[in-house]
Structure 1
């Protein structure tokens, strides 16, 4: 290295505010270079290296502790308070359907009926059987009374009286069976008319009159009608499972529903005890009054759930390095930079929440030269956080 070049470097290190560390570094560089005043490529590289000797542009700050309110967003679907797929109770030909899709019905209102004639015949037959059984029971009662009188006069044996007693019991049992069969036949006749189980709206009609239906209904497609109760509807919304600890019954939310202009306020009334292992989400539910039936089951809903205020440690995001893979900061400690790994929770555009790794008394380094730091980098005296 030439004397003129060494003189140039030495003069750059002798100005006011330069530290002994820089002078020592210059001398070390001078000892490794050759002499000469030429403008060689090697000398230009050395000049570039000396840029690293400029003062570190850094300052310190403390993490901030304050109350924060957080809003999480979930999406889901509007559902009915109740949904019932109604099939025939008594098998037969569907003779009448009294309603159509969109009709609003009251509890116990007739919806459809199967043909009654077969069941009316069954009722008449059951009544006749009951009358016959009643006559036999009455005859058995009279026979028992005569047997008691005859036994008192020694005209019959005890065995004959026992036979009369048993005949009376059997006839009474037969009468009760016939009575039950009549009640069953009458109920089947009543069940030919299917009625609304609650106030609701007809949302599906799957068959027309004249279709034969068995009493077995395994799915909505095999039902005659579908009725839904929608005076109150349910918004079933999925949110990330990481918020489980922050959610509770009564947590407020603003709901936006496709097709409706206004935002509806509600609160969580159910947190499903089962999480979805595929989407890693929870099902939370909100009830909405719907007396005008304007909210339709199946609509898309978005919920902004307002979590309770809590204390959080916030830090300027510019102080955090490698946020995506291995988030860490540098602290000012005893005149040196000390690397500290941290756990983050993204909060907003300007700051991040530090979940673990710092306390509010730490001196966190920030500034344009933060990326130049490694663990143990000496810091300028004016950044010494311990003085």
Structure 2
């Protein structure tokens, strides 16, 4: 009897387990399919332009520093404040320079008095020599005294000019009309020669500095009209290529291209990232895979895309990405040519989710 009871219990256990699995399968089967829009890799492998990433900068900008060492007495402006050309921005303690200026002024006064005396003596001896009352040597001596006094006076004046020119480095003024973008020092701090103190940017003109690889730089020429996409503002701007670098020695193998932006009412700011579209065909081989950036899925530091299986279910593939071409990105690995992937979905996607492909 015991073997019989044991056999019945095991049969009942497996029967209940299979019923549970059946219920789970029924639940899975009843999950509604997610309507999705798909695309194939081959259909996205075409771009009519070359793109490069860059950063927007003010066309006219300056970071001011000083050649003098001293404490900052006063900062007369704040970040974001508009300034006019010649407006006082930063004052640095100039007591040493003021003392030197007083010394040069005293030296000029002394040299001027000596010059005036030597000039009168020289004129007197010229008259005496004309009346044969002074010798040639006496006249030459007076001329030498006059020339030396004149040279000392000129030297004293040049020293004063030197001191006055140094005042430009203790009273920093705006080099052009613009806006204060940054302050690197506070009142009471020590300012050292060459140390950046304050930055000014001119208003109105902006440019983009983009990096272009060596395989494409030969196709870009100055004067070319381009389109610039500012993703943070969702706007497209026009511009012209103004500079094309001929060396990548200090830029990691990338060539720098500057694009001057046309005037616009868009609220663009210095430091915004932008994508420049050059109207030249990119040199890509037939094996390059490009997909829309909007189709990507991010999980922490991983980036992937949902593909469609043979049974019409979603499969998440992790990708290794390359360069960006406008609104598309290059896939280096993780996606095969002519493979379908999901561009958009009308529901939440996950691995194994049933799909309904929209026509």
C-alpha distance after superposition, 1:301-358 (max 9, x if no partner): 11222238xxxxxxxx9xxxxx79xxxxxxxxxxxxxxxxxxxxxxxxxxxxxxxxxx
2:243 maps to: 270
2:39 maps to: none
- Aligned partners of 1:120 and 1:69: how far apart in 2? 65
Structure 2: 5+ residue runs without aligned partners? Answer: 1-45, 289-359
- Aligned partners of 1:278 and 1:94: how far apart in 2? 36
Determine helix, strand or coil for the equivalent of 1:135: helix
Q: Summarize the Cα distance change of 1:251–1:146 in structure 2 as closer, same or farther, 3 Å threshold.
A: closer
Which sits farther off after the overlay, 123-132 or 202-211?
123-132
2:261 maps to: 288
Q: Summarize the Cα distance change of 1:234–1:165 in structure 2 as closer, same or farther, 3 Å threshold.
A: same
The match for 1:226 among 183, 188, 199 is: 199
- Aligned partners of 2:255 and 2:96: how far apart in 1? 52
The match for 2:224 among 229, 251, 265 is: 251
Per the TM alignment, residue 111 of structure 1 is displaced from its structure 2 partner at its CA by: 0.8
Q: Summarize the Cα distance change of 1:203–1:150 in structure 2 as closer, same or farther, 3 Å threshold.
A: same
- Aligned partners of 2:211 and 2:167: how far apart in 1? 46
Matches within 5 A, 1:9-88: 70-88=48-66
Alignment RMSD: 3.2
- Aligned partners of 1:304 and 1:141: how far apart in 2? 73
Relative contact order higher in (CA < 8 Å, ≥ 6 apart) = 2
- Aligned partners of 1:132 and 1:292: how far apart in 2? 62
Does residue 102 of structure 2 align to residue 124 of structure 1? Answer: yes
2:352 maps to: none
2:80 maps to: 102
**Are 1:254 and 1:304, in contact at CA under 8 Å, matched by a contact in 2?**
yes
Matches within 5 A, 1:157-306: 157-189=135-167, 191-214=169-192, 216-217=193-194, 222-275=195-248, 281-289=254-262, 294-306=267-279
Per the TM alignment, residue 240 of structure 1 is displaced from its structure 2 partner at its CA by: 3.7
Q: Summarize the Cα distance change of 1:118–1:162 in structure 2 as closer, same or farther, 3 Å threshold.
A: same
- Aligned partners of 1:305 and 1:209: how far apart in 2? 47
Q: Summarize the Cα distance change of 1:115–1:171 in structure 2 as closer, same or farther, 3 Å threshold.
A: same
**Are 1:251 and 1:307, in contact at CA under 8 Å, matched by a contact in 2?**
no
Structure 1: 5+ residue runs without aligned partners? Answer: 1-67, 309-316, 318-322, 325-387
**Are 2:209 and 2:256, in contact at CA under 8 Å, matched by a contact in 1?**
yes
- Aligned partners of 1:305 and 1:183: how far apart in 2? 51
Q: Summarize the Cα distance change of 1:94–1:290 in structure 2 as closer, same or farther, 3 Å threshold.
A: farther
- Aligned partners of 1:122 and 1:76: how far apart in 2? 49
Matches within 5 A, 1:308-319: none
**Are 1:88 and 1:114, in contact at CA under 8 Å, matched by a contact in 2?**
no
- Aligned partners of 1:189 and 1:246: how far apart in 2? 49
**Are 2:220 and 2:278, in contact at CA under 8 Å, matched by a contact in 1?**
no
**Are 1:83 and 1:226, in contact at CA under 8 Å, matched by a contact in 2?**
yes
Q: Summarize the Cα distance change of 1:281–1:93 in structure 2 as closer, same or farther, 3 Å threshold.
A: closer
Determine helix, strand or coil for the equivalent of 1:263: strand
Report which of the two structures shows the higher radius of gyration computed on alpha carbons: 1
Q: Summarize the Cα distance change of 1:295–1:251 in structure 2 as closer, same or farther, 3 Å threshold.
A: same
Q: Summarize the Cα distance change of 1:146–1:279 in structure 2 as closer, same or farther, 3 Å threshold.
A: closer
